[in-house]
Structure 1
Amino acid sequence: MAVAKRRGVRGPFFQMLMVVHRYLGVAVGAVMTVWCLSGFVMMYQGYPALREPERLAGLEPLKLDGCCVLPRLDPKDAARLSGFRIEMLEGRPILRAAMGRGSAGKTYDLITGRPFGEITPQIALGVAARQAEALGVEGRPLSIRAIKQDQWTVQFAKRHQPLYQVRFDDPGRTDIYVSGVNGQAFQHTNTRLRVLGWLGAVPHWLYPTVLRQDGKLWNEVVIWLSVAGTFLTATGLYVGIVHLGRRRNGRYSPFRGLWFWHHMAGLVFGVLTLTWVFSGLMTMNPWGLLEGGGDRAIREVLVGKTTGPQIEQALGQAVALKPRGDIAQLMAAPVAGRISLASVARDGEQVRLDASGRPSPVGEAEIRGMLAPLKPMRIELLAAEDAYYYGRKGDPADLPVWRAILRDDQSTRVYIDPDTGQVKRVVDRDARLSRWVRNGLHGLDFAGLRNRPLWDLVVLPLLLGVTLVCATGAWMSIRRIRRDVARFGAALANRRRRRLSLHPEPQEQAS
């Protein structure tokens, strides 16, 4: 039966599948091998980023003495205003007005009440120097230049152009990038991060500037390469299973040498390879499959609609406060249509304030009032992480946190900060599926396995096995195609020789 089955798959469909698998393995197999090799680096170092706690640590302590003049917002700007922050820039209190996602917002000088002037190279140098000190950089600014974008700023360069790149003379050759729009430090790299970035995140995300600067093209390229990788892996699994079976010589595989190891590794690690490349595809949210949509509506209910007068009142309350200590920022904290203020310390600690500037945490009654329009099924204060609210990459989640499970058709979970009333996370059905497909399958991010070094001990050998599958497959595809090309060339030469032997070309007669 097994012999008959193996003979049956020698038909046209199987042969066509083998050819497609072989030729697809040249380009796509090579890309998948690069994804695997760069994945080893990504386990320990991601794309360089300046995190918000690091940026806060680089701010000056907030001082509002002798301040402030409230800006007169344009009606169009007031309508787009989604929040605000008050902090310091070059010794002056400023208002950063958020104008929605994808925008750098607008910056106002609270001494004059007018838009903040040009971000000069001198201002950028001062911002970069304070940021470098907060990061522990042992060096001084060496040079500054205005750039449009580079490899480490390509994903958010447009909203901050022109960019100032400040190079320091420390051993790590640190670069700190400052926005030419709002004077905010937003990125930093050094030699180590740049080298590991080129070995890890850039090839893993297909992130070279020439491709990533066109977001739509980059998105399509990654999606379709991942689709091709999923198809390549699935067909490889099928071919490998079909070829598996005991033969007269006692062997279970018809292959020898490198082909044998590719066959065996594919059978052992093929399913894992398939789940990894498919979950990698899902991280791109292809065609909006995991888009969700309930997140924004729920946040609007919890935050409520705020009006221009409310925003002006909150700004007036903010500038009337005289923060002391290590406060780096005052920010809007809207809850159920009312705007409160929250102070943010340079270590990231956030505290909601009442009208007199005293701490005013969000109590259980207020939380229940916020959530009442959503008809929650259960509300509880979590002191530990759960499956959908947890820290990643060594950063613990902010705890405690209020968790509400709604009585809707998706059993949506809402997580709210008890100090400020800020909505930390909304997890609907699509978000739960995304969590398991993207983080679970792609990063083996499961409870009990998440803690290191256990995660490393499991992931390293698995990734090594998947790399073996991809690398051997790509190499053999290249060798086989080179052989096919050589045979094709030889066949053409033989055909030409036969034609010449049957129809010899006439000899030229001597004159």
Structure 2
Amino acid sequence: MKRYLYLWHRWLGIGLCLFMALWFFSGMVMLYVGYPKLTPREHLAHLPTLALQDCCVDLETALTAADAQRTPSGIRLSTVAGVPRYLFSYPGRNNVAVEARTGQRVGPIDRDQALAGARQYDPLAMPSYQGVVEEDLWSHSRALDADRPLQRVRLADVDGTLLYISGHTGEVVRDASALERGWNLAGAWLHWLYPLRGIGLDGLWSNLVIYLSLATTLMAVLGAIIGVLRWRIRKPYRSGSRSPYRGFARWHHIGGLLFGVLAITWIFSGLMSMNPWRIFSAGAPLDMAAYQGGPLTAAAFPVSPAQARSRFAEQGFVARELEWRLIGGAGYLVAYDGAGRTRLLSMADGQVLERLPAQVLEQAAQAVLPRARMHSERLDVYDFHYYARAEQSMLGHLEKRLPALRVRFDDPQQTWLHLDLYTGEVLGVVDQSRRASRWLFALLHSWDWLPLLERRPLWDAWMIVFSLGGMVLSVSGVVLGWRRLR
């Protein structure tokens, strides 16, 4: 039996230790430079103040121009390419833009409009048009699907910024600086095995990553077993050492004993990040339309954008973007300023609010699972299931403000909703499968553990030291594998 343990570990290692080394190295890069994305704060920082003079057509006209047959899932009013535009999103369909002053639907974005959008993003940098792309090295994210094809523009700024502009709305949807692009070649591009995409393997990419991770986990577990079997606790070998190996083999043996368990958890949790065989998607999807209390129609929003902007200005709040939101059947206009701060205008009484009353969100949440008993709690501090991450992390762009509201249901899935008191947005749905993912992926892979996250030098040291240990383990395995092949 021992012979087969050695053979399986050896031959799996010859093929897979190189992947381990790449994962540990690229993972250290990703601690500080994430895959390019345009965060909400970056988006708002590059917007001008909403200029609504001689504007705008009413919402009903804009909805009809966008799509008279379908109801949107999201409505915003923003400045795009220097002019105000209504921006509509639809489930499973392309985004749509309507000129706010004329009520005309915006056609496919061309070169001139893409350059105008880039000049709005940075008026001081000279833009150069780079053409149309469906998907490339820095735009693999599925979040961009509703905006494809993308117009690509390069800015002559100090950061060497590359912009991706929606082919349907003209809005800048992604930016990637030269620094991000350079480090990502050694970071996320390697870590997520993106070299396998764009060469005809896109449809197989997910399964390739899953089964490579599965095989690597098996290899590491076998190595841990062998490492323990070969270490003499009581009686050392003739050389006086408790390990029978020398050179790189000794480094590999001792490195495995010191860092093997953590290496196994990192590889296994990386496998869990792919949601293999959809094991974290077991629960039936919730009907989140019930939280809105109805479709997004003009009838729920009698206040015009110009009137709303004036009401916010009276309170000293300078809006750069407006969002129409329906919560429990009641309409609200959410205004965003350049720093990401928000205010709400209630359609019911015209009041400008900093936060929504908890009762409003609780009533809307109860409609999601009307037959389940509900308990709510206000979160004034972060905890294991609600916390913020650095912007460069995978989900660091998601705003997690405090206080927030957590609503718990006693349904079979023990569902929780995290609700933003500042905008009414559903920040997250947590059920039994997602709580399992929280343990098996976020905790084991990124060490999203508040005692470490809140003490960043300690978290950094933890991640780097153990990543270097994993590098020693995997690089020594690569050397041993190469020697075996020779």
TM-score tier after normalising by the smaller chain length: 0.7 to 0.9
* Corresponding position of 1:149: 135
Within the alignment, does 1:388 sit opposite 2:385 as a pair?
Answer: yes
Query: What's the secondary structure of 2:303's corresponding residue?
Result: helix
Assess, with a 3 A threshold, how the Cα gap between structure 1 residues 131 and 117 changes in structure 2: closer, same or farther.
same
* Corresponding position of 1:469: 473
Structure 1: segments with no counterpart, 5+ residues: 1-12, 483-511
The number of residue pairs the alignment matches comes to 461
- Once the two structures are TM-superposed, the CA of residue 405 in structure 1 deviates from its matched residue by 2.3
* Percentage of pairs with the same residue: 31
CA distance in 1: counterparts of 2:68 and 2:204, whole angstroms: 32
* Corresponding position of 1:404: 407
Q: Identify the match of residue 293 of structure 2 among 299, 304, 311.
A: 304
Q: Identify the match of residue 25 of structure 2 among 29, 37, 40.
A: 37
Per-residue CA distance 1:201-223 (angstroms, 9 max, x = gap): 10011113744885431111111
CA contact (8 A) 1:104 1:182 kept: no
Moved more, 472-481 or 164-173: 164-173
Residue identity matched to 2:378? L
Per-residue CA distance 1:392-427 (angstroms, 9 max, x = gap): 015673111112222234433222122332212221
* Corresponding position of 2:72: 81
CA contact (8 A) 1:32 1:470 kept: yes
Within the alignment, does 1:140 sit opposite 2:140 as a pair?
Answer: no
Residue identity matched to 2:250? F
Residue identity matched to 1:235? L
CA distance in 2: counterparts of 1:86 and 1:172, whole angstroms: 29
Which is higher, the Rg of structure 1 or of structure 2?
Answer: 1
Query: What's the secondary structure of 1:348's corresponding residue?
Result: coil
CA contact (8 A) 1:147 1:163 kept: yes
Q: Identify the match of residue 96 of structure 1 among 75, 84, 87.
A: 87
Assess, with a 3 A threshold, how the Cα gap between structure 1 residues 351 and 248 changes in structure 2: closer, same or farther.
closer
Q: Identify the match of residue 241 of structure 2 among 224, 232, 251.
A: 251
CA contact (8 A) 2:413 2:432 kept: yes
Q: Identify the match of residue 364 of structure 1 among 354, 358, 361.
A: 358
Assess, with a 3 A threshold, how the Cα gap between structure 1 residues 383 and 224 changes in structure 2: closer, same or farther.
same
CA distance in 2: counterparts of 1:160 and 1:194, whole angstroms: 21
Query: What's the secondary structure of 2:70's corresponding residue?
Result: helix
Per-residue CA distance 1:119-141 (angstroms, 9 max, x = gap): 232221221122235xxxx6322
Q: Identify the match of residue 341 of structure 1 among 333, 347, 359.
A: 333
Following superposition of structure 1 onto structure 2, how do residues 142-291 of structure 1 map, counting pairs within 5 Å? 142-156=128-142, 159-208=146-195, 210-211=197-198, 215-245=202-232, 246-247=235-236, 249=238, 250-291=240-281
Residue identity matched to 1:83? G
Structure 2: segments with no counterpart, 5+ residues: none
CA contact (8 A) 2:237 2:244 kept: no
Assess, with a 3 A threshold, how the Cα gap between structure 1 residues 255 and 445 changes in structure 2: closer, same or farther.
same
Per-residue CA distance 1:294-348 (angstroms, 9 max, x = gap): 5x41634422332xxx612245534463514531222121212333322222322
Assess, with a 3 A threshold, how the Cα gap between structure 1 residues 149 and 72 changes in structure 2: closer, same or farther.
closer
CA contact (8 A) 2:216 2:267 kept: yes
CA distance in 1: counterparts of 2:82 and 2:254, whole angstroms: 66
Query: What's the secondary structure of 1:115's corresponding residue?
Result: coil
- Once the two structures are TM-superposed, the CA of residue 176 in structure 1 deviates from its matched residue by 1.5
Assess, with a 3 A threshold, how the Cα gap between structure 1 residues 379 and 160 changes in structure 2: closer, same or farther.
closer
Moved more, 234-243 or 374-383: 374-383
Assess, with a 3 A threshold, how the Cα gap between structure 1 residues 29 and 453 changes in structure 2: closer, same or farther.
same
Q: Identify the match of residue 313 of structure 1 among 290, 299, 305.
A: 299
* Corresponding position of 1:59: 47
Assess, with a 3 A threshold, how the Cα gap between structure 1 residues 344 and 293 changes in structure 2: closer, same or farther.
farther
Query: What's the secondary structure of 1:384's corresponding residue?
Result: coil
> Which has the higher relative contact order, 1 or 2, with Cα contacts under 8 A spaced 6 or more apart?
2
| TM-score, structure 1 as length reference | 0.83
* Corresponding position of 1:323: 309
- Once the two structures are TM-superposed, the CA of residue 464 in structure 1 deviates from its matched residue by 0.8
Assess, with a 3 A threshold, how the Cα gap between structure 1 residues 41 and 169 changes in structure 2: closer, same or farther.
same
- Once the two structures are TM-superposed, the CA of residue 167 in structure 1 deviates from its matched residue by 1.6
What is the RMSD computed on CA atoms of the aligned residues? Answer: 2.5
Query: What's the secondary structure of 2:352's corresponding residue?
Result: coil
- Once the two structures are TM-superposed, the CA of residue 48 in structure 1 deviates from its matched residue by 1.2
